[in-house]
Amino acid sequence: TDERNYICEICGYRTRQKDALVVHKRTHTGEKPFECSICSRRFISASLLNEHKPMHSTERPHKCDVCGASFSRSKALYHHKHLHLGIKKFVCKLCGRAYAQMAGLAGHMRQHKAEEQSLLS
């Protein structure tokens, strides 16, 4: 049976854990009570703060077995591997072009913005 008894009254998100609902609700309120002591960036949960902290380290223990690139965070390596696998899950809503990484889509969106600006001037 589905025991997800904790429900967000704003969007209907359901979870089995009360703490998970508390963290989820912060996505609606904007509350970010966990602050990085190095860069002051704030997070909705301690786990997201802990996931962020390695980016300040000079250590890069997560190495790509395809090209040798190394990363401070395992999640960065995971997203990097999408380049090699050809997985493109970041899609432009304007033209449909897809990218393996958010940075690729962000650069593409800047091109759309520049084109729009040139049409307006």
Q: What pLDDT, in 10s, does the model give residues 2-56?
A: 688 999 999 999 999 999 999 999 999 999 999 999 999 999 999 999 989 988 9
Domain limits for position 22: 6-55
| Element containing residue 109 per DSSP (H, E) | helix 102-120
Q: What number is the average pLDDT over the span 64-84?
A: 92
Is 1 part of a structural domain of the chain?
A: no
pLDDT at 121: 74
Integer Cα distance of 85 and 71 in angstroms: 18
Q: Is residue 81 part of a domain?
A: yes
In this structure, the answer to whether residues 15 and 33 fall within a common structural domain is: yes
Same domain, residue pair 50 and 19: yes
Over the chain, what is the mean pLDDT? Answer: 92
Distance CA 42, CA 44 (A): 7
Alpha-carbon gap, residue 102 to 90, rounded angstroms: 6
Quote the pLDDT of residue 21.
97
Cα 16 to Cα 29: distance, rounded to the nearest angstrom: 21
Residues 73, 111 share a domain = no
